[in-house]
Amino acid sequence: MPTSVTVPELGESVTEATVTQWLKKEGEAVEVDEPLLEVSTDKVDTEIPSPVSGVLTRIVVAEDETVDIGAEIAIIGEAGDVPAEGGAPEAEKAEPEPTPEPAPEPESAPVPAAPAAPAAEAPAAPAAPAAPRASREDATPPVDVETISGTGQVSGTDAVTEAYVTPLVRKLAAEQGVDLSRVQGTGVGGRIRKQDVQEAARRQKEAASAPAAAPAPAAAAPKRTVTVDTTLRGRTEQMSRLRQGIAEQMADSLRVSAETTQVVEVDVTNIARLRGVAAEQFEAREGVELDFFPFFALAAVEALKSHPKLNAVIDSSNYEVTYHAIENLGVSVDTERGLLAPVIKDAGDLNLGGLARKIADLSERAHTGLLNPDELSGGTFTLADTSGSGVLFNTPIINQPQVAILATGEVVKRPVVVEDPELGEVIAVRSTVYFALTHDHRLIDTGDAGRFLQTVKERLEEGAFEAELGLA
């Protein structure tokens, strides 16, 4: 009996998905849980597996087509079944479409009056179809592919849209040291596929006189840096689905919550000292660098246990408050596609090393589009890091349905008045950082928020993390 394959739930607030690549063709056998296709949403790229074993008898949705969650995308038949007539003409027509190049001949057809004219212009006729194709391709290289993919779908024929280079392809390109702007896509509409990157990598290795390992570090760097798209000047475009989602969520948050922000300055000199002593040993043991952010995350999670009001959710329909018994910490990541907040589940059960590993892992996969849908939902409190842009502090907007968000700024050295046991008040150079807490005043009063911030401040300024670092 035929089995319908539908788009599954892919995370909170995700309402549609775009088919980016079919991994199986009509008529091919598939096993249960074997990946059938890749889809892209406003938050993640993921694979959809086959729910049963059998034969892919019909592809309902072609590549680069967007459908709602729950929509039918394919039909799996029993072994021995043959593809249905006209099953997925769009998927197959997409490839032949560029092939019938004779179509441009009508451009010279308006001059058929004189038989000699077409004969004389015959050499020009083949050049005519090549010209428009070249102009479309020539318009692509000047555009930074990773940058455009972060700004969403661009209108017009002079730019690459987000669908053409998925995070999965960008990750593969980074691993292989392939410059995507030099790759000619063979997918629908010129989309760059995995096979194109693999072929480009193979050619690079053959052409290189030296080992191809050198380009890899240069290609890996952009994953951590969001480039600025200067081609935006004077352009009108549709906001990406991710950007639309962020816009709706942020505006809705301000409509729902009574948001106010408090800021404190924290002296993290003791943590800076510990990092200098334990960084090398920590990285060797945990496999990640010892940054300030894991310390901030640990202090925030510990404070949530003492201040449960900030780890809650409000049901506005009946003014009911639920105080969470766990700490699921959302951590903001600034990616090429937009801001994401993957969630560290049960963060309250992790130590400093565990938090550092989870933060590094989620951040890496947020940049490469390999997060699972459930890793972008279920947060009870969010910690936002704005230090990457050199900002001292900002006023973050609450990630609904949470009731608070804590933003950390850049750690800087500044002269501070401190108390010396022998000299009294002296001016010393200290490492400091600002913490900005936005909270929902419907539940959390100014005093509640202030006490939470003081708990975080005292924990960090004390700097008693020797046991966590194996120095005790």
Report the pLDDT averaged over residues 232-254: 86
pLDDT at residue 454 is higher than 80:
yes
Q: Which of 77, 111, 129 is the last residue in one of the domains?
A: 77
Residue 461 φ then ψ, to 5°: -70, -30
Residue 267 belongs to some domain of the structure: yes
Pairwise pLDDT comparison (33 vs 156), residue with the higher score: 33
Give the active site residue among 252, 315, 374, 445.
445
Q: Which of 77, 98, 118 is the last residue in one of the domains?
A: 77
Instruction: State the Cα torsion 331-326-372-217 to the nearest 10°.
Output: 40
Question: H helices within 292-372, ranges in order?
Answer: 293-306, 352-368
Q: Which domain holds residue 58?
A: 3-77
- The total of structural domains in the chain comes to 2
Q: Is 185:196 a contact under the CB 8 Å cutoff?
A: yes
Cα–Cα distance measured from residue 297 to residue 137, given in angstroms and rounded to the nearest whole number: 46
Residue 147 belongs to some domain of the structure: no
Residue 220 belongs to some domain of the structure: no
Report the pLDDT averaged over residues 30-42: 87
DSSP 164-209: GS-HHHHHHHHHHT--GGGPPP-SGGG---HHHHHHHHHHHHHH-S
What letter would DSSP give residue 378? -
Residue 383 belongs to some domain of the structure: yes
Report the pLDDT averaged over residues 229-247: 83
Residue with tokens 């296709």: 37
Number of C-beta neighbours around residue 179 at 10 A: 13
Residue 212 belongs to some domain of the structure: no
Residue 235 belongs to some domain of the structure: no
pLDDT per position as a tens digit, 313-327? 999 889 899 999 999
pLDDT of residue 224: 52
pLDDT per position as a tens digit, 336-388? 778 899 999 999 999 999 999 999 999 999 888 788 888 998 999 999 998 87
**What are the Cα distances from residue 388, in Å, to 225, 392, 417, 435?**
9, 10, 27, 15
pLDDT of residue 259: 96
Residue 30 belongs to some domain of the structure: yes
pLDDT at residue 67 is higher than 60:
yes
pLDDT at residue 75 is higher than 50:
yes
Residue 7 belongs to some domain of the structure: yes
Cα–Cα distance measured from residue 382 to residue 341, given in angstroms and rounded to the nearest whole number: 8
Give the active site residue among 81, 158, 324, 441.
441
Average pLDDT, the chain: 79
pLDDT band at 88 (very low <50, low <70, confident <90, very high): very low
pLDDT band at 158 (very low <50, low <70, confident <90, very high): very low
Pairwise pLDDT comparison (128 vs 83), residue with the higher score: 83
Of 38-42, 57-61, 419-423, the one with minimum mean pLDDT is: 38-42
Active site residue 441: yes
pLDDT per position as a tens digit, 183-236? 877 765 566 777 788 788 888 877 775 444 443 333 334 335 566 777 888 889
Tokens read off for 385? 């890091």
pLDDT of residue 167: 60
Q: Which CATH number characterizes residue 336's domain?
A: 3.30.559.10
Cα–Cα distance measured from residue 9 to residue 43, given in angstroms and rounded to the nearest whole number: 13
**What are the Cα distances from residue 333, in Å, to 40, 180, 342, 391?**
18, 23, 8, 15
Counting Cβ atoms within 10 Å, is residue 324 exposed (0-12), middle (13-18) or buried (19+)?
middle
**Using only C-alpha atoms, what is the Rg of the chain?**
27
Cα–Cα distance measured from residue 341 to residue 333, given in angstroms and rounded to the nearest whole number: 6
> C-alpha angle with apex 32: 26 to 37, nearest 5 degrees?
45
Q: Which CATH number characterizes residue 57's domain?
A: 2.40.50.100
Cα–Cα distance measured from residue 285 to residue 279, given in angstroms and rounded to the nearest whole number: 10
Q: Which of 77, 96, 119 is the last residue in one of the domains?
A: 77
Pairwise pLDDT comparison (444 vs 33), residue with the higher score: 444
